[in-house]
Structure 1
Amino acid sequence: MAVKTNFSSNNFKNILSNYNLGELVYSNPITKGTVQTNFFIKTTTNKLVFRYYENRTTESVLFEINLINYLQEKKYPCPTPLCNNYGHFIGIYNDKPYVVFSFIEGEHIDNPTNNQKKQLIEKVAELHNITKGYKSDLTQYRLNYNVEQCEKLAQESAEKINTLNSQEKLKWYRYQLNQLVLPSSLPKGICHCDFHISNILYHHDEFKALIDFDDANYTFLTFDLMCMLEPFKTTFDWDTWDKFSLEDDVFDFSNAKTVVLEYSKCRPLNESEKIHLFDLLKFGILIDCIWYFERGDVKDFFEKRKIDYLDNLGRENFYKKLFG
């Protein structure tokens, strides 16, 4: 990620004057990530990460900080936000919030080993055990993944694009939301919602920390599990989908079965969660569709094709593939 807001040495010296973290030695932009601006900072006494929130309200950032502090109390491996001299975790620069975190030694692994993948799955299940039922007073300030929120975002996207194709896609989108079966009894809590390699740290082959809770929100706990399933073949993707016909077999459940098995060792799924993983997978596809609403013709596009394949397979067969 190109840094969206530049900070000079003087800027950081002024910011650090509000903390007891030593004097600035140097700072470097962190290029991994896609939304917020991040810098590595070395002081005379500390290694730090400075995170500048380009598009989040102070309330949304406070939700994140309160969540991370809660996870820290539970000994969950995640970044530590640092207080300034006034007892606040959040500072303001040019009307936007920022937070200073302690630096965690570790590496981002492009191709994790099977052992590293298992550790991540275990830590995700552990996260859900901790956050099941967790509800913050600031939840309303996050983009919480639910059907109502998705319909609202899709409508906003359609209106912004303002084409016949976008209006027709909105009709399709609403129909698909109505087909989802997501009982209110499904367990909810906080999901991380972004397992990009830049958000996972390993050190000496061991899981070190889950970082960047910028997308974390209150939703179905199995949403994170759905994100890790990957039941589609790797050859079927956003830039290759149109090379496949509806009669082709695009599924490979070997990885998905492994993920569910490892996850269930730490957090067993109830029967309702198992049955409705099918719906959560479709729900996740519909969320992706929001971010790429302008992409593709309503008659046939990547997200539509994925849902068509799942509908052809059916909920019962999907269940059998994973748990049979």
Structure 2
Amino acid sequence: MGIKTVLSKSDFIKLLSGYSLGELVRFEPIITGTVQTNYYLETTTGRYILRYYECRSEASVKFEVNLLNYLRKRDYPCPAVYKDKHGRYVNPHNGKPYVLFEFIQGTHIENPSVEQQKQLIKLVAKLHKLTRNYRPSYRTARWNYGVNLCKELAYQKAKEINTINSWKKLKWLEDELEKLQLPKSLPKGICHCDFHFSNILFEDGEIQAILDFDDANYTYLLLDLAFLIEPFIPEFKWNSWQSFGKTDSILDFTSARETVAEYMKHRQLNNNEIRHLFDVYKLSVLIDCLWYFERGKAEDFYEKRKIDALNRFGRDSFFREIFDEN
């Protein structure tokens, strides 16, 4: 599933010849990836990860490399990137870019403990603090999540599918995007945007590294926090939503409240962020809608149920549920 391009022993010998990382001992495909192709490499000097980017421009990969170098200099737990003999971090192979990363020992945990989830929240907040004033090179090579990008991608999806349903769904999404209140003063920086625990390495119960900055982009710092919270009851999911009535009570802020409180131990939200977490959370739902645009009828589908419930509840009630200590 994770290997889209098969590389041979001779390919790796050729690629490694450009680095000062020893001779190839063995290589092994990593099958857990879903977008890019990854290989584990062992040489006479150490162990490495080669990532072959199937669908990223060189500029997009350079965005990622520059970000990782910036974070590493500030003691953020992420993989190092290796230069070749000419000082280049990104090189082409058969028309696609590749990068050699540090191999970090660790395991992925499917069901992290409460304390391990707190570790992640702390590192999310640290990422945002470190990149609050970061101005990335090659920023325009990434999908920087916001209203305009969401509209653009939704239009592309509707045009590609080109059914009455897809155009209706586009109209609904555009109308919902227009309702969002996102002040220009909302802090921006780098969001990872894919803090799934398959992208986190643990060793002895502690986080060793945050991996896979392939979706990272320059956007509202609140967006990562929005992706981490889920103000809905656990039973309401993409494969069970149809068992609920349209006006059933599906909101539950217990987990979201705890996540936000933990985050604010490490990065305090300003008043604008507190007031507009509602809008950024709705934006995160609308972004999710893009990845599953073909799923469901425009009149009633999973993400629409979420947005409808939030619209009925309202921004002020959302604020009180998460931030009002009384």
TM-score normalized by the length of structure 2: 0.98
1:236 to 2:236 alignment? yes
> Counterpart of 2:150 in structure 1: which amino acid?
C
> What is the match of residue 217 of structure 2?
217
1:312 to 2:312 alignment? yes
> What is the match of residue 79 of structure 1?
79
What is the Cα deviation at residue 244 of structure 1? Answer: 0.6
The separation in 2 between residues aligned to 1:290 and 1:125, in whole angstroms, is 26
> Counterpart of 1:7 in structure 2: which amino acid?
L
Q: How does 1:103-122 map to 2 (within 5 A)?
A: 103-122=103-122
Aligned residues of 2:157 and 2:293 also touching (Cα < 8 A) = yes
What is the Cα deviation at residue 131 of structure 1? Answer: 0.3
* 3-state SS of paired residue (1:135): coil
> Counterpart of 2:313 in structure 1: which amino acid?
L
1:92 to 2:123 alignment? no
Aligned residues of 2:2 and 2:36 also touching (Cα < 8 A) = no
What is the Cα deviation at residue 220 of structure 1? Answer: 0.2
What is the Cα deviation at residue 261 of structure 1? Answer: 1.0
> Counterpart of 1:27 in structure 2: which amino acid?
F
CA offsets per residue over residues 108-154 of structure 1, 9 Å max, x none?
A: 11000111100000000000000013122310110000111110111
> What is the match of residue 26 of structure 2?
26
What is the Cα deviation at residue 192 of structure 1? Answer: 0.3
CA offsets per residue over residues 218-263 of structure 1, 9 Å max, x none?
A: 0000000011111112211111111111232212222111111111
> What is the match of residue 154 of structure 1?
154
> Counterpart of 1:45 in structure 2: which amino acid?
T
* 3-state SS of paired residue (1:60): helix
Q: How does 1:158-173 map to 2 (within 5 A)?
A: 158-173=158-173
> What is the match of residue 199 of structure 2?
199
> What is the match of residue 13 of structure 1?
13
What is the Cα deviation at residue 22 of structure 1? Answer: 1.4
Q: Structure 1 stretch 253-262 or stretch 151-160: which is displaced more?
A: 253-262
> What is the match of residue 263 of structure 1?
263
CA offsets per residue over residues 159-210 of structure 1, 9 Å max, x none?
A: 1101111111111111000000010010000100001121111110111111
CA offsets per residue over residues 21-74 of structure 1, 9 Å max, x none?
A: 111111111122211001111112111000000000000000110011000111
> Counterpart of 1:172 in structure 2: which amino acid?
W
The separation in 2 between residues aligned to 1:252 and 1:39, in whole angstroms, is 42
TM-score normalized by the length of structure 1: 0.98
1:289 to 2:289 alignment? yes
The separation in 1 between residues aligned to 2:33 and 2:241, in whole angstroms, is 26
CA offsets per residue over residues 85-113 of structure 1, 9 Å max, x none?
A: 11100111110000000101111110001
* 3-state SS of paired residue (2:246): coil
Q: Structure 1 stretch 32-41 or stretch 61-70: which is displaced more?
A: 32-41
What is the Cα deviation at residue 305 of structure 1? Answer: 0.6
Q: Structure 1 stretch 154-163 or stretch 225-234: which is displaced more?
A: 225-234
> Counterpart of 2:265 in structure 1: which amino acid?
K
Aligned residues of 1:27 and 1:41 also touching (Cα < 8 A) = yes
* 3-state SS of paired residue (1:41): strand
Count of aligned pairs between the two proteins: 324
> What is the match of residue 54 of structure 1?
54
Q: Structure 1 stretch 44-53 or stretch 133-142: which is displaced more?
A: 133-142
What is the Cα deviation at residue 5 of structure 1? Answer: 0.3
> What is the match of residue 140 of structure 2?
140
Q: CA RMSD in A?
A: 0.9
> What is the match of residue 183 of structure 1?
183
Aligned residues of 2:38 and 2:51 also touching (Cα < 8 A) = yes
Structure 2 gaps, min length 5: none
> Counterpart of 1:220 in structure 2: which amino acid?
Y
> Counterpart of 2:208 in structure 1: which amino acid?
K
The separation in 1 between residues aligned to 2:48 and 2:22, in whole angstroms, is 11
Aligned residues of 2:3 and 2:33 also touching (Cα < 8 A) = no
The separation in 2 between residues aligned to 1:16 and 1:134, in whole angstroms, is 32
The separation in 1 between residues aligned to 2:47 and 2:231, in whole angstroms, is 40
The separation in 2 between residues aligned to 1:249 and 1:304, in whole angstroms, is 15
> What is the match of residue 36 of structure 2?
36
Runs of 4+ in 1 over 3 A off after TM superposition: none
The separation in 1 between residues aligned to 2:69 and 2:2, in whole angstroms, is 29
* 3-state SS of paired residue (1:276): helix
Aligned residues of 1:133 and 1:187 also touching (Cα < 8 A) = no
> Counterpart of 2:165 in structure 1: which amino acid?
N
